[in-house]
Amino acid sequence: MPAKAVRKGGARSRAKSLKAYREKRRFEVTPEPTGDERSRTVRKKGPIFCVQKHLASHLHYDFRLEHAGVLLSWAVPKGPSLDPSVKRLAMMVEDHPLDYADFEGVIPEGYGAGIVMLWDTGTWKPSPGFEDVDRAMKKGELKLELDGSKLKGSWVLVRTGRGAERETSRSWLLIKHRDSGAAARDVTVTAPLSVKSQGDFVDILLADEPDLWRSNRPARGGESGRMLLEILEEAVRRKEKGSRSAARRGGKRTAKKPTKKRKKAAT
Ligand code: MN
């Protein structure tokens, strides 16, 4: 009986917690998961964590932890640092559905429009003494262990601010603890690629529908706009190069294998 009650409660709070996520999105134009489906995400040895590198209005890294049926989420502008002396700002954002944990692709328009790369994923667990994650979140300090491809070992998320301000603050810091997973190198530079497709932003764009996106991409300036423009230009170069070598091999320009996504988009 108690187990059933917990599950029911979990479902209620999950629906409520994904309200902000759903309100920001139009699912008829975005490939992102609605959170309605039963999770297809492969179950591993524990709760999932993921980091999605997201080129939107600004480049940032979305750090997500599976908890109570959703992904607790923070946007980390500079990305995680393996250096324990570096504190990285992590802005708490709305909970995301569990299915989002392996999402990679192009968001053509609307909220978060841009390119999402699955930069790291694995499992996580709260450190000893922090097993009550809800309590830790409320108190604003969560020590945790990550077992990913790029991020490993012990970390802490700590909310900033003083007194009453601290209780409502959405600003946290993500800090590495000193252990074998720590390093002085900048992991965002030394390991920039996807752990899902092994590609970069250009590859992700090419695997999607670059032509469609080029024609109605969001207008945007600044560094993110410049990066986006470079990625689009490189995508065009790689696409043309690919077509030329396919032609040399005697293939047709259209002899491109339809990807799963393409098939899906066509239906
Ligand atoms: Mn984001």
pLDDT digits (tens, 9 = 90+) for 16-60: 789 999 999 988 888 888 888 665 555 567 899 999 999 998 999
Distance CA 5, CA 198 (A): 42
Share of the chain above pLDDT 70, in %: 79
What's residue 162's pLDDT? 80
Higher pLDDT, 7 or 92: 92
CB within 8 A of 138, min separation 6: which ones?
A: none
Measured in angstroms, how far is the CA atom of residue 210 from the centroid of ligand 1?
20
What's residue 245's pLDDT? 73
Measured in angstroms, how far is the CA atom of residue 16 from the centroid of ligand 1?
20
Give the Å distances, CA to CA, from 232 to 81, 180, 211. Answer: 28, 38, 10
What's residue 28's pLDDT? 85
Measured in angstroms, how far is the CA atom of residue 265 from the centroid of ligand 1?
23
Distance CA 83, CA 177 (A): 8
Mean pLDDT of 8-13: 47
Measured in angstroms, how far is the CA atom of residue 102 from the centroid of ligand 1?
14
What's residue 174's pLDDT? 98
Contact 208, 202 (CB under 8 A): no
Measured in angstroms, how far is the CA atom of residue 21 from the centroid of ligand 1?
11
What's residue 166's pLDDT? 77
What's residue 74's pLDDT? 98
What's residue 38's pLDDT? 61
Measured in angstroms, how far is the CA atom of residue 159 from the centroid of ligand 1?
19
Asked if residue 130 has pLDDT above 90, the reply is yes
Among candidate residues 48, 220, 41, 218, the one with its CA nearest the CA of residue 121: 48
Measured in angstroms, how far is the CA atom of residue 172 from the centroid of ligand 1?
16
Query: What are 218-236's pLDDT values in tens digits?
Result: 556 788 888 888 888 888 8
**pLDDT band with cut points at 50, 70 and 90 for residue 211:** low
Q: What's the angle, vertex CA 22, arms to CA 20 and CA 27, rounded to 5?
A: 155
Measured in angstroms, how far is the CA atom of residue 50 from the centroid of ligand 1?
12
Measured in angstroms, how far is the CA atom of residue 251 from the centroid of ligand 1?
39
Distance CA 189, CA 195 (A): 14
Measured in angstroms, how far is the CA atom of residue 114 from the centroid of ligand 1?
9
What's residue 11's pLDDT? 47
Mean pLDDT of 75-97: 97
Measured in angstroms, how far is the CA atom of residue 182 from the centroid of ligand 1?
25
Measured in angstroms, how far is the CA atom of residue 143 from the centroid of ligand 1?
23
Measured in angstroms, how far is the CA atom of residue 112 from the centroid of ligand 1?
6
Measured in angstroms, how far is the CA atom of residue 149 from the centroid of ligand 1?
20
Q: What is the mean pLDDT of the chain?
A: 84
What's residue 12's pLDDT? 47
Measured in angstroms, how far is the CA atom of residue 56 from the centroid of ligand 1?
7
Measured in angstroms, how far is the CA atom of residue 12 from the centroid of ligand 1?
25
Share of the chain above pLDDT 90, in %: 55
Measured in angstroms, how far is the CA atom of residue 229 from the centroid of ligand 1?
19
